Structures are given as C-alpha cells and as structure tokens.
A and B are shown apart, each in its own frame.
Chain A
Amino acid sequence: MTVPLLEVREVSKSFEGLRALDGISFAVEEGVILSIIGPNGAGKTTLFNLVTGALRPSSGDILFGGRSIVGLKPNQTARAGIGRTFQIVRPFPGLTTLDNVTLAALAKERGRRAAARKAERILELTGLTPLAQVEARNLTLAKRKRLEVARAVALDPRIILLDEVMAGLTPAEVNETVELVKKLRAMGIAAVAGIEHVMQAVRKISDRVVVLNFGKKLAEGPPSEIMRHPEVVKAYLGSQYAAAAAKG
C-alpha cells in the first residue's frame, strides 16, 4: 500500500479554550481531488492553515509524503510542494499578473528570466495570457481567483489546497474552474478543495468528500454517498436537499 501524499492524523486545534478542530483524520493520495465541505466556521481554513504551517496543531500529526511537517513554516511547506490559495484572494495588487506568477515561480526557478518564462507557460495553462500586463488590482474576482491558482501551480506543488476557490463565481465561471482543477489533476497535481456550498462543483470534481461540522468530521465518502448521508443532510444541506435525497 502506497504512502498517501497528504495525511492528517487525529489533528486538533484549540484557540484559548475554543476547540476549532477535534480529532480530524483523512488522507489524500496522489492525483486525487478531495473536497472538504462544511458551513463557514466549520474549520476548513483552520485546517488549511495547519497543513501549510501558518498555525501549529494542538495535537495530532500531519504527514506529507510520509514525513511529518508539523513545525514547518509556510514558506517551507510551500517549497516542499504544498500549494495554497486563500479564501480572501490576495494577489499582490500593484504587481502585474505576470509578475505575480513570476514571483511564485522564483521559488523553484533560478533567476527572474527563467521564472518569467515559466510564468508565461502557466498563464497559458490557466487562460490568463491576455491579462499578463494588467495590475492584479484591476482584475475581476473570477480572474483573481484564477491568478491565485496560477501562483499556486507555479510552485510545482504536488498538492494544492484550494480554499473557497468557487465562492462568488457565476455558474459559468464555476464550470471553468472545475475544468481547470481537472486539468491540474491530469498533470498529476492532487487537490484538497475546501468548499462551503457550491454543491454542483463538489459533485463534478471530487473523488472523495469529507464533511466537517463544528470542527468534527461528520462523514467521508464519494460525493453521491455523502449527498444522501442522513447526518450530513440533517446538519447542513437543508430541507430541499433532504427531499431530493429522500427521493434517492
């Protein structure tokens, strides 16, 4: 049995008495897309912060490629192969789209020219080439989210943590993002997508779904199963989905 790419083992995190995460465990293998769903406040962003090293778990372990990464700082986990987008998109506003991605590429390339060339390739991949010289602050939300993904890809990640990458997008934009994530999977990049409520996306991209609620793991399984899981439906998806689930 191969070692999973990313493994979260019994991870808990408390903030001065508030238990944000309680005994969370799951694993992501190479080339798998895992979606973590749960209402806002369930702990998805905290979980991502723990994996990248922005926060330290109160207990439990996090393994990447079989080795514990607890204690590493964000720039170290970034270099190790864990990419990340932020829920509130934070591209560098005064830098151009190209410069934004070039900077990310500098983590792996030597010299600005090599990094810029790689950045250009990635812009091509993510469909951002026409916007290369536009300052990031002038991009629309959808394009900014795409830029976030482009930056994460520039770090040659083996896995990307996508925090709410679909939120606020039109259905057409959601579809584009789904295609992009699938393209990345085809390139061998695994993904953990933290998603609040864009359910159509969850169904389309996830190999597996983990459900979080109030910091605890409610359920795990393929999307179709999760959508019908009574606990999940009760806690979170709401009556209209419950009705649909009852219909099977």
Chain B
Amino acid sequence: MKVRIGYAAVVAGAAVVAVLPIFASDYLVGFFFTTFLFVTMAYGWNLISGFTAYVSFGQISFFGIGAYTLAILVFRAAWPWQLAVLAGAVVAAVLAVPVGWAMLRLRGPYFALGMLGLTQVLSMVASAWIGVTNGGEGIYLPPEAALRQLYYAGAALVVVAVVVTWAVDRSAFGLRLRSIGEDEVASEAMGVDTTLAKLAAFVLASIFPALAGGLYAWRLSYIDPASGFPPTYEVQTILMAIFGGAGTVWGPLVGGFLLTAVGEVLWAKFATVHLLLFGTMILVVLMFMPEGLVPLLRRRRGRRGGAAGAPPIRKKEAA
C-alpha cells in the first residue's frame, strides 16, 4: 500500500515534468533544468560513494571533462551538441579507467584526498593548455541552445540515472559494491574481485557528471576553468546525495529536488553565505540524519505499517 503511494507520486511527478515546458516560464524551465543536472550528478556520486565507502570529493573533475569535451568538439570541429555531449561521456569513461585504477588503489581517506586534488589539477590543466582549451579566456560557443530541448535532455538524464541505479541496486554487482562499502577486506575474502568492481562503479559514476557537464556548457554557451570545475557544485552534489540518502535508489532524486529548491531561495536571499549554509547543512545531516531522508521516511512508514502486517522492509539501504 505504502509502496504504491510512492509510485503514484513518481508517476504524477513524471507527468508534471513532461508537460511543464508548455506552460511554464523560461525561468521555471531553466530552474528545473539545473535541478536535473544536480540530480544527475548526485546519482553519479551515489554510485561510487553511496554504495562503496569510497568518498569522492572530485566528481566535478568529470563534469569539467564533459563540459570541455563538448565545448572543444562544437567550437573546433562543429559537432552537433547532442553528439558532443555523448562524446563527453565517452571521454570521461575512458579517462576514468586509469584515473580510477590509480585512485582506488589508495584506500579510503587517501582516495578522498586524491579526488579532491584531481579537480584542482584538471582545473590547472584547463588553464594551462591554451592551445586546446583557450586557457583562462575560455571557449565561446554559438548561443543556439534551445532551453526546452535541454530541459528534456536533462529529464532524460535523470530517468537514465534512476534506472541505472535501480538496476545496480538489485543486481549482483550492486551487492558486491555494498559489501565493499561494508567491509572491503572481508569482501575480498568472500571471493569478490574488489578492484574490478570498484573500477566499474567508478567508471559508471563518471559518466553522469560528464553528461551533466556537457549539457551545462551548451546551456551556458561558454566554458572556462572556473565554470568547468565549479568547486561549489561538489559540495552541493554531495549534500544532495547524503541528505536524500546515500546508497539508495530514490535518495539523490529527493535530495536533489528539495535542495535545489532550497538553494534557489538561499541564493536569492543569502548569496554571500550560501557556501556556509551548505557546509552547515552537511554537518547537520551528518549529525542528525546520517542515513538520509529516504531511509528515515521508510523506517517511519515501516513502524506505522508494521503492526498491520505490511511486508517487512526488504532492502537495506546502507549509508
């Protein structure tokens, strides 16, 4: 019963999303587009850091890679933007293999730090490799981006992200990842090829921020190191994922939507403190609701419905 209410909400939400551009203002459409991008990035983070315990502070690296790939292909080779966005995902995935291999060999905290440093380095590469990236000047793109097209592209991304996460969650691969997150040494002892599993998750996770980055660059019609590797996006993405529920299927969606709405309000009223607020929110979430909103709600529902004999909570959403 409870599960069906949840699905009804999703269907209703999807319907709203589908028809919104017809009625809504450009501002609202643009707002939703940004939300879709953040949600997608949150799903990307979730795939590596929600399931395994490898906390990445550098998924924005792939955002930038996707953004720059699009900009370079459109600007220098006149590719159509749709293909350029997809190409960004391919480039990110290909690069994620050696990067992931190197980074994942560093256990836990060193991985986190490594990814943090990676974004810095890539930003510097973007500044320095002037021949390709135009350095600090950035690349200007033809302002042909159609907002409503991008909106639907973003929505499609979210759908893909949710479906992929759902599929991973119930698959053998997902179980292996969770076991790595629980206890990597024991997981290895159980016969799991942890190196391969982690790498696969890392590569998969890299695709989402890359796609988001490509769409973002196209929308902006411009890219430079600052906009390609926006450090504030990292904190926002992570906050959304952990607020909604890391390691869950719906967490990033819920967290993404709620927090982007909150972010819009904050940006309007408290522009100068919004980093501080995001940082504080991370602390609040960690102290008071570390599992995230979705598992918290599930648990409350379970308690109320449990006495009546509702089915026990089958999925264990580990943070």
Note whether A and B contact each other (Cβ less than 8 A).
yes
- Residues of chain A at the chain B interface (Cβ within 8 Å): 52, 54, 73-75, 78-79, 84, 86, 90-96, 99, 102-104, 106-107, 111-112, 115, 133, 135, 151, 155
Q: Which B residues lie within 8 Å of A90 (CB)?
A: 183, 185-186
Q: Is the CB of A95 within 8 A of B190?
A: no
Residue of A78, A94, A112, A133 touching B190 (CB-CB under 8 A): A78
CA distance A54 to B170 in the complex (A): 30
Q: Is the CB of B190 within 8 A of A155?
A: yes
Given known A95-B318, A112-B170, A135-B316, contact A52–B175 (CB-CB < 8 A): no
Residue of A75, A94, A99, A112 touching B192 (CB-CB under 8 A): A75
Residue of A75, A79, A91, A102 touching B175 (CB-CB under 8 A): A102
Q: Which A residues lie within 8 Å of B171 (CB)?
A: 112
- Residues of chain B at the chain A interface (Cβ within 8 Å): 170-172, 175-176, 178-179, 182-183, 185-194, 312-314, 316, 318-319
CB nearest to A104 among chain B residues: B190
Q: Which A residues lie within 8 Å of B190 (CB)?
A: 75, 78, 103-104, 107, 151, 155
Q: Which B residues lie within 8 Å of A102 (CB)?
A: 175
CA distance A78 to B186 in the complex (A): 11
Q: Which A residues lie within 8 Å of B316 (CB)?
A: 94-96, 99, 135
Q: Is the CB of B182 within 8 A of A107?
A: no
CA distance A102 to B172 in the complex (A): 9
CA distance A54 to B188 in the complex (A): 10
Residue of A78, A92, A94 touching B191 (CB-CB under 8 A): A78
A-B contact pairs, 5 of them (CB 8 A): A73-B188, A75-B192, A95-B178, A95-B318, A133-B312
Q: How far is the CB of B310 from chain A (nearest CB, A)?
A: 13
CA distance A227 to B118 in the complex (A): 62
Q: How far is the CB of B189 from chain A (nearest CB, A)?
A: 5
Residue of A75, A79, A94, A111 touching B172 (CB-CB under 8 A): A111
Listed from nearest, the 6 A-B pairs whose CB atoms lie closest are A107-B191, A94-B318, A92-B182, A78-B191, A112-B172, A90-B186
Q: How far is the CB of A177 from chain B (nearest CB, A)?
A: 20
CB nearest to B189 among chain A residues: A74
Q: How far is the CB of B186 from chain A (nearest CB, A)?
A: 5
CA distance A99 to B171 in the complex (A): 11
Residue in B170, B178, B191, B318 whose Cβ sees the most chain A Cβ within 10 Å: B191
Given known A103-B175, A112-B171, A115-B172, contact A75–B183 (CB-CB < 8 A): no
CA distance A91 to B314 in the complex (A): 18
Q: How far is the CB of A72 from chain B (nearest CB, A)?
A: 12
Residue of A75, A86, A135, A151 touching B188 (CB-CB under 8 A): A75
CA distance A74 to B186 in the complex (A): 10
Residue of A52, A84, A92 touching B179 (CB-CB under 8 A): A92
Q: Which A residues lie within 8 Å of B187 (CB)?
A: 92, 103
Q: Is the CB of B191 within 8 A of A79?
A: yes
Q: How far is the CB of B52 from chain A (nearest CB, A)?
A: 12
Given known A94-B316, A96-B316, contact A74–B188 (CB-CB < 8 A): yes
Q: Is the CB of A86 within 8 A of B186?
A: yes
Q: Which B residues lie within 8 Å of A133 (CB)?
A: 312-314
CA distance A102 to B313 in the complex (A): 17
Please give 9 more A-B residue pairs, beta carbons under 8 A apart, in addition to A86-B189, A92-B186, A95-B178: A74-B188, A75-B189, A78-B190, A86-B186, A103-B192, A104-B190, A104-B191, A107-B192, A155-B190
Q: Which B residues lie within 8 Å of A93 (CB)?
A: 182-183
Q: Which A residues lie within 8 Å of B175 (CB)?
A: 95, 99, 102-103, 106, 112
Q: Which B residues lie within 8 Å of A91 (CB)?
A: 186
